[in-house]
Amino acid sequence: MSDQIFIFIALGLYFAAMLLIGYLAFRRTTDHEDYMLGGRNLPPWVAALSAGASDMSGWLVMGLPGAIYLSGLIEAWIAVGLTIGAYLNWLLVAPRLRAYTQVSRNSITVPSFFENRLRDSSRLLRLLAGVVILVFFTLYISSGMVAGGFFFESSFNSDYLLGMLLVAGITLLYTLFGGFLGASFTDVVQGLMMVIALIVVPIAAIIAVGGFGEVATYVEDLAPNHISVIGGTALTGGTILAIISSLAWGLGYFGQPHIIVRFMALRNPGEAKSARRIGMTWMIISLVGAVFSGFVGIAYMAHQGIDLTNPETVVLVMAQTLLHPFVAGLVLAAVLAAIMSTISSQLIVASSALVEDLFKVVKKEPSPRLLVILGRSTVLAVGVIAALLAIVPNDTILGLVSFAWAGFGAAFGPLILLSLFWRRLTNWGALAGMFVGAAGVFFWKAVWPQMYELLPGFICATVVAVVVSLLTHRDGSERQNEILQEFTDTGTLLTVNGVGRGARTDRQTP
């Protein structure tokens, strides 16, 4: 039996498993809230692995190892920033957001939470948030499809377009019917596959080269600056700016709808603690494996005399040359898992933005059946548009992901934090901050490309939201009293669920 047959069998089993999970989830989806949020009934281990897998897209097994391979350990600061950001997101945002979205009129999307939390009768906040989600998620989903095309092109010397369409089609199919539950449970399987692959591949490569000492010798001879976490022998202004930009990735976590929606779907706020432990363990192992894969890949390619034309395929090439074809096929399936898990989660959130946050503004009381039909139709429509954008890729996977990540982080991150922990945020402050954050990433990318656009965008959005809120805040109004009561009720719910931090924050916030 040829090597390709073994690989195709492994990939076929993976695709079949994803479709089966999607079908089983379809049978458990009865209404719109099930389709969009799984009925707020996710166990902590599912929420943790699902949040991680939907976060770590193709950039984890392709983009990040490729960046390490190309530029060295200075790119590992991205992993450090992400780890810090993810931990703070689970610690601070997860329990309070789960409680607050329940208290605030059972909000099931990020835009509906903003509107309900701030009593925005103009509907502008919900509309702008929905548009931001559609724009940046279409770009984000497109990046995943680009990764799928590169995957098939590199792994099988097949046509980029054919591979991209296959990945897009399978992901659309199980997301279309399985909804949020389908995306979440496939994420669990995909997350486990990813972490196993990122353990097996670098270890096999280190053994093949002759040990980690030999790896370090190869890298030092070929690219001595790659060993340094500062990119050379001394810190320079450009290096400091690069490190700050990499660490700034962590700020993006607070505003990623496809990640924080998992917090909203937990069974209760108290389960955020156990989910945090599971999720952070998975994340740290995965990120360390990705960094090692890129670093060891430098030595392995030199040892084998392989000329790697696309650095983002380093894990794919090592898997195919190091492992038994069937095992290599499972590793390749894990790469697909990283890509598809993120696409499916983002499709669900994009669908919810159009149906829950835009359509409901026009039609007040649509039937539950109509909402489910519209949700599935939107998944299909957004997927098709993203696929059209991916036909001719014009950036690296990491480049596409970084821009969409910055857009959400700057537009939503400050507002999530202020909504949860500051009583005085107003709808006009939130609206101004969201606009400045979303538009700012385009502006800063154009005028200051040396600095990751997320950081200045996040800072400007925060300042604008606070200043406008202070100017428009009115004490004593009926609307403000309702907002204050919900703020207090959220602290009470957190205390009932054993989340002491939430209760203390409630008492101390001015």
Q: What is the pLDDT of residues 477-495, one digit of tens each?
A: 888 899 999 999 999 999 9
Q: What is the pLDDT of residues 181-238, one digit of tens each?
A: 777 888 888 889 889 999 999 999 999 999 999 999 999 998 888 998 887 767 787 8
What total number of domains does the chain contain? Answer: 1
Higher pLDDT among residues 312 and 458, named by residue = 458
In a domain, 304, yes or no: yes
Could you tell me the residue range of the domain that residue 240 belongs to? 3-23+36-392
Backbone angles phi, psi at 266, to 5 degrees: -60, 155
User: Could you tell me the CA-to-CA distances from 295 to 199, 321, 347, 408, 507 in Å, in that order?
Assistant: 13, 17, 33, 30, 48
CATH code (residue 256): 1.20.1730.10
Q: What is the pLDDT of residues 14-66, one digit of tens each?
A: 888 888 887 887 777 676 666 666 667 889 999 999 888 888 877 788 889 99
In a domain, 342, yes or no: yes
Supply the DSSP string of 300-323, one letter for each residue. Answer: HHHHHT---S-GGGHHHHHHHHHS
In a domain, 431, yes or no: no
Alpha-carbon dihedral sign for residues 270, 272, 276, 278: positive
Alpha-carbon dihedral sign for residues 448, 454, 457, 463: negative
In a domain, 80, yes or no: yes
Q: What is the pTM of this model?
A: 0.88
Does 443 score more than 80 pLDDT?
yes
Quickly state the pLDDT bin for 289 (edges 50, 70, 90): very high
Q: What is the pLDDT of residues 114-164, one digit of tens each?
A: 999 999 999 899 999 989 998 898 888 888 898 888 888 878 888 899 999
What single DSSP character describes residue 453?
T
In a domain, 421, yes or no: no
Alpha-carbon dihedral sign for residues 311, 341, 408, 357: positive
Supply the DSSP string of 131-156, one letter for each residue. Answer: HHHHHHHHHHHHHHHHHHHHHHHHHH
In a domain, 430, yes or no: no
